[in-house]
Chains A and B, each alone.
Chain A
Amino acid sequence: MTIYNLYIFDRDGQMLYYGEWTRKKQSGMSREEEAKLMYGMIFSIKSFVAKMSPVDLREGYLTYCTNKYRLHLFETPSRVKFVLNTDVGAQGIKELLHQIFTQVYVEYVSFNPMCPLYKPIESELFIAKLDEVVRQSPAYASRPA
């Protein structure tokens, strides 16, 4: 199992953070362009899913899967979005994303008055802690399966 990369977006669609662990193929555009594309897609998928859903939706967690990777979207009620790409077999990613939110984002961004909301996150503590949580998660393995 592998974790590829992570995007964090604020409620206005600005990318707050990008983290990469294993990524074998780059998109060939600037990170900003890529983030805009990613956010646009997430936005469209969300409204598409909400419209097409045959049952009442409870928002919060959404995932899609191609034959090569799986994308997980976790959105808090305050509209912070965590987008994580893993390989198709990864387990327990919902819990991992929740953990990233409660133990990393809240602790090191919300509680850090020197860390402005709605600006890309530069806190080294945050980055180190995020890396630690991801590397410790059962879904992380240095070599893809």
Chain B
Amino acid sequence: MSRQGLRPADPKKVSGELFTLTYGSLVAQLLKDYENVDDVNRQLERMGYNIGMRLIEDFLARANPGRCYDLRDTADKIQQAFKLYLGVSPSIGSWNPGGDEFSVVLETNPLAEFVELPDHCLGLRYSNILAGIIRGACEMVQMEVMAWFIADQLKGDNVTEIRIKFVKRLEDAIPAGED
């Protein structure tokens, strides 16, 4: 995401590998700093949350998606965002009967392209930053959601699957009263 005077139709793209490797060094550094996979998972989620809060503005500006009227709308837009930022098209599915929970299924995960988890890192949710980004971005558009990984190719699953659960709608702030 480079800064340019005018935003062209096709924004300057960077090599996906550069991104993958940069993310890899971030995770490696966190593992060194924390020496505990749970802390790393938490940090990644937090970083993602902070990214999501800012990334949503870019998504709104670029894709001009409009407001969501139900969760299926939201799911479509998350799919669209994956396409825009990661160049992959996840499939959306596994809706629960209540319609407030769904899965984003990635056939390939660009974050984990050159990665193998060593044995002592089995608890690590390598791409946990994605869960944080989804949560942060949704919060900015008045939706509190939970996002977590339920399947990961790095752990031998066939696909990478992120589960998303709608928690509640956040309401508009009322202006401060004249006291």
- Contacts from A to B (Cβ < 8 Å): 11-13, 36, 39-40, 43, 58-60, 76-80, 101-103, 105-107, 109-111, 117
Contact = CB atoms under 8 A, between A and B. Distances in A.
Question: Main secondary structure on chain B at its contact with chain A?
Answer: loop
Contact of A103 (B6, B141, B174): B6
Contacts of B57: 76, 78, 80, 105-106, 109-110
Contacts of B67: 58-60, 77
Interface string B11-46: 000000000000000000000000000000000000
Contact of B175 (A43, A107, A109, A117): A43
A105 B66 CA distance: 18
A106 B53 CA distance: 12
Size class of the B contact interface (CB-based, 8 Å)? 20 to 34
B56 A36 contact: no
Given A77-B66, A111-B54, A117-B53, A106 B173 contact: no
A28 to B, nearest CB: 17
Interface in B46-85: 53-58, 60-62, 65-68
B9 interface: no
Contacts of A43: 172, 174-175
Contact of B58 (A77, A80, A110, A117): A110
B25 to A, nearest CB: 18
A79 B58 contact: no
B7 A102 contact: yes
